[in-house]
Chains A and B, each alone.
Chain A
Amino acid sequence: MSIYLPIAELSVNIVLLLSIGGVVGFLSGMFGLGGGFLMTPILIFMGIPTNVAVATSANQIVASSISGTIGYWRQGLVDFKMGGVLLIGSFFGSILGVWIFSRLVVLGQIDTVISILYFALLTSIGLIMLIESSQVIRDRVRRKTVKRKIHYHNWAHKLPFKMKFYKSKLYISAIPPIIIGFVIGILSATMGIGGTFILIPAMIYFLGMPTSKVIGTSLFQIIFVTALVTLLHATTTYAVDAVLAFFLIIASVIGAQLGVLAANKLRGEEIRALLAIIVLGVATKIALDLLVEPNEVFNISVIRALF
């Protein structure tokens, strides 16, 4: 059974669509990741145009980050003030990102740029996850526990415009979170990702935020970044496919909840290593598409249809 996607302008199998949404949602629930970094390339592999994949992925992340945030908010693990400061940067970043995106569409380079960005992103995520999980597995075998520094000072504490973030027990300059937000905004708009895996380490290492507050706060700010990105894409690139988003959202919200349940019962490292391999596989496929000489070197796109 297939369904016609009105904006992507193609028919896809519903079962396939729901499975993709479900699996990506499951993985994101399990590992606390947004899942956009897998969703967008998989949609592109399915034949969905790059701009539709990016814009619709952003729409889908709105839903998954809302349901994620609520869980963390109930436990008091969201620093709304920090989220707000990050959002100031993200606001401008996503406007710039959508502008860059639509310029690249006009220049015909969007597919290439997205591929290169995704290759870089997925390769680094995959390698980091693989190294991390293999270390954890090794440490477990040796019965070692990893000790982490709880709080430390760095350059983020020396800049002007210092603000108090009571929830995170921080007194730091507003500039680093704004810059981080700005970068996330650009990435979100151009790649259709929430940016959790960049945001989380940046918040821990650059801002020195407590690990417990990081996931909830990042999810909270992702809601608004991806919501803004969705609106910007809907009004400038017209690439948000509501039908595609609907099925992905339904499946990913259910998948994410199951993923959270599974995370409590399963040992994470082996699955994390498996995910790392999947991520690296997707990266390899993207690289091959860029490096192998295509059968048809010409491609056509309609820039204006007369009705």
Chain B
Amino acid sequence: MNLKIFLFIKLFVLFFISSTSALVIGSDEEEIYIDANFSGKNLLVFGAFYSDPSQARDNKSDILIEVVGPSEDVVIRKKESFFGFWLNSKSVEFNDVPGFYYLSSTNEITNEFLNENNIGLLNKKDTQLINWSILNIDWGNVKNQKEKNTFYDALIRTKESEDVYRKVNGEIQIIDGNLFRSYIEIPNTVPVGQYKVNLYLIIDNKISNEYSYNFMVTRVGIEEAIYSFSKNYPLIYGLISLLIAILIGLSGAEVFKRFRKV
């Protein structure tokens, strides 16, 4: 309850400064720790907003939440049939693609709106979430636009099937007309690194306020320690793996020898 009061105070202070509308956020957590037993979690994003009724024609306010994960370079490969065998043939390399992307709105947001406001989205089709012009793409031997589009779609489709790209609406709860709350599902397949949350208050199809903050996704636990050790000290890691194998192999033979004697 205290938090709610705090948010309202913050909201109205802001409102009196700007005097048309205001958006404040009560950020939940700055770091998400993923360990071996992590089975995904819900990130809570909440805050308060207010718009001056006299300024808005129909007083229609929307909240838009965008979460962008750390970048990665990916390669999309297409299987084609060669003499009955399905083999990887053409490939396209997409650089600096977000490893996680989430877009949520209180109401359906039009593609025109997203394009106009350059929110980093290009919704030619519902599946297409990313503004391709910001990407650095190595097309390889893929030449015509129609075929290029199939690779765009495949990137989105495969990312969606891994639950790391999502576009939803109607999942943001509005409470008391001024508070909003949304649970964003972070699946355990997400990449580690810095995530950016962008919040927009939209009034009459225009962005009136925006707010951004970052949070980190970090892997922790023994499994993470093994993973980073294998990357940082590969030779020692290999030798330890060998040593474990040798010791178990030797003791296996020893135990068995005694076992047979009995």
Q: Across the interface, which residues of B come within 8 angstroms of A301, CB to CB?
A: 74-75, 77
Cβ distance B12 to chain A, nearest Cβ, rounded Å: 40
Q: Across the interface, which residues of B come within 8 angstroms of A47, CB to CB?
A: none
Q: Across the interface, which residues of B come within 8 angstroms of A7, CB to CB?
A: 226-227, 230
Cβ contact within 8 Å between B36 and A257: no
Cβ contact within 8 Å between A66 and B86: no
Contact residues of A: prevailing secondary structure: helix
Of A112, A231, A298, A305, which contacts B158 at CB under 8 A? A298
Q: Across the interface, which residues of B come within 8 angstroms of A249, CB to CB?
A: 244-245, 248-249
Cβ contact within 8 Å between B256 and A234: no
Complex Cα gap A51–B150 (Å): 28
Cβ contact within 8 Å between B242 and A305: no
Q: Across the interface, which residues of B come within 8 angstroms of A303, CB to CB?
A: 73-75, 93
Chain A stretch 215-233: residues in CB contact (< 8 A) with chain B: 227, 230-231, 233
Cβ distance A293 to chain B, nearest Cβ, rounded Å: 6
Of B73, B80, B241, which contacts A297 at CB under 8 A? B80
Asked whether any CB of chain A lies closer than 8 Å to the CB of B53, the reply is no
Cβ contact within 8 Å between B70 and A305: yes
Q: Across the interface, which residues of B come within 8 angstroms of A254, CB to CB?
A: 252
The answer to whether residues A299 and B74 also contact, given A67-B249, A109-B87, A234-B234 and a CB cut-off of 8 A, is: no
Cβ distance B151 to chain A, nearest Cβ, rounded Å: 7
Complex Cα gap A293–B82 (Å): 11
Complex Cα gap A116–B82 (Å): 13
Contact residues of B: prevailing secondary structure: helix
Q: Across the interface, which residues of B come within 8 angstroms of A304, CB to CB?
A: 72-73
Q: Across the interface, which residues of B come within 8 angstroms of A297, CB to CB?
A: 78-80, 86
Asked whether any CB of chain A lies closer than 8 Å to the CB of B250, the reply is yes
Of B87, B161, B256, which contacts A67 at CB under 8 A? B256
Complex Cα gap A74–B96 (Å): 58
Q: Across the interface, which residues of B come within 8 angstroms of A112, CB to CB?
A: 85, 87-88
The answer to whether residues A230 and B238 also contact, given A253-B249, A306-B71 and a CB cut-off of 8 A, is: yes
Given A66-B245, A302-B72, 10 extra CB contacts under 8 A: A59-B241, A62-B249, A63-B246, A63-B249, A112-B85, A234-B230, A253-B252, A293-B81, A300-B154, A303-B73
Chain B stretch 33-57: residues in CB contact (< 8 A) with chain A: 36-37
Cβ contact within 8 Å between B226 and A6: yes
The number of chain A residues with a CB under 8 A from chain B is 59
Complex Cα gap A103–B5 (Å): 61
Asked whether any CB of chain B lies closer than 8 Å to the CB of A205, the reply is no
Cβ distance A65 to chain B, nearest Cβ, rounded Å: 7
Q: Across the interface, which residues of B come within 8 angstroms of A68, CB to CB?
A: 253
Asked whether any CB of chain B lies closer than 8 Å to the CB of A198, the reply is no
Complex Cα gap A62–B230 (Å): 19
The number of chain B residues with a CB under 8 A from chain A is 60
Cβ contact within 8 Å between B74 and A242: no
Contacts between the two chains (Cβ within 8 Å), count: 180
Q: Mark A277-307, 1 if CB is under 8 A from B, else 0.
A: 0000000000000111110111111111111
Cβ contact within 8 Å between B242 and A62: yes
The answer to whether residues A300 and B245 also contact, given A254-B252, A257-B256 and a CB cut-off of 8 A, is: no
Complex Cα gap A228–B231 (Å): 18
Complex Cα gap A296–B159 (Å): 13
Q: List 7 A-B contacts (CB under 8 A).
A: A59-B245, A112-B88, A245-B241, A253-B248, A292-B86, A297-B78, A299-B79
Asked whether any CB of chain A lies closer than 8 Å to the CB of B120, the reply is no
Q: Across the interface, which residues of A come within 8 angstroms of B250, CB to CB?
A: 66-67, 70
Asked whether any CB of chain A lies closer than 8 Å to the CB of B60, the reply is no
Q: Mark A235-269, 1 if CB is under 8 A from B, else 0.
A: 10010101101100110011011001000000000
Asked whether any CB of chain A lies closer than 8 Å to the CB of B214, the reply is no
Cβ contact within 8 Å between A256 and B151: no
Cβ contact within 8 Å between A298 and B151: yes
Q: Nearest CB to that of A301 among chain B residues? A: B75
For B72, B80, B193, the residue with the greatest tally of chain A CB atoms inside 10 Å of its CB is B72
Complex Cα gap A64–B17 (Å): 74
Cβ contact within 8 Å between A108 and B77: yes
Cβ contact within 8 Å between B86 and A71: no
Chain B stretch 116-161: residues in CB contact (< 8 A) with chain A: 150-151, 154-155, 157-159, 161
Q: Across the interface, which residues of A come within 8 angstroms of B223, CB to CB?
A: 4-6, 243
Q: Nearest CB to that of B247 among chain A residues? A: A63
Asked whether any CB of chain A lies closer than 8 Å to the CB of B259, the reply is yes
Cβ contact within 8 Å between B246 and A66: yes
Complex Cα gap A291–B85 (Å): 5
Complex Cα gap A112–B83 (Å): 14
Asked whether any CB of chain B lies closer than 8 Å to the CB of A60, the reply is yes
Of B157, B191, B237, B249, which contacts A305 at CB under 8 A? B191
Asked whether any CB of chain A lies closer than 8 Å to the CB of B29, the reply is no
Q: Across the interface, which residues of B come within 8 angstroms of A64, CB to CB?
A: 249
Complex Cα gap A254–B151 (Å): 48
Asked whether any CB of chain A lies closer than 8 Å to the CB of B114, the reply is no
Chain B stretch 203-262: residues in CB contact (< 8 A) with chain A: 223-224, 226-227, 230-231, 234-235, 237-242, 244-246, 248-250, 252-253, 255-257, 259
Q: Across the interface, which residues of B come within 8 angstroms of A116, CB to CB?
A: 85
For A70, A242, A254, A260, the residue with the greatest tally of chain B CB atoms inside 10 Å of its CB is A242
Q: Nearest CB to that of A60 among chain B residues? A: B245
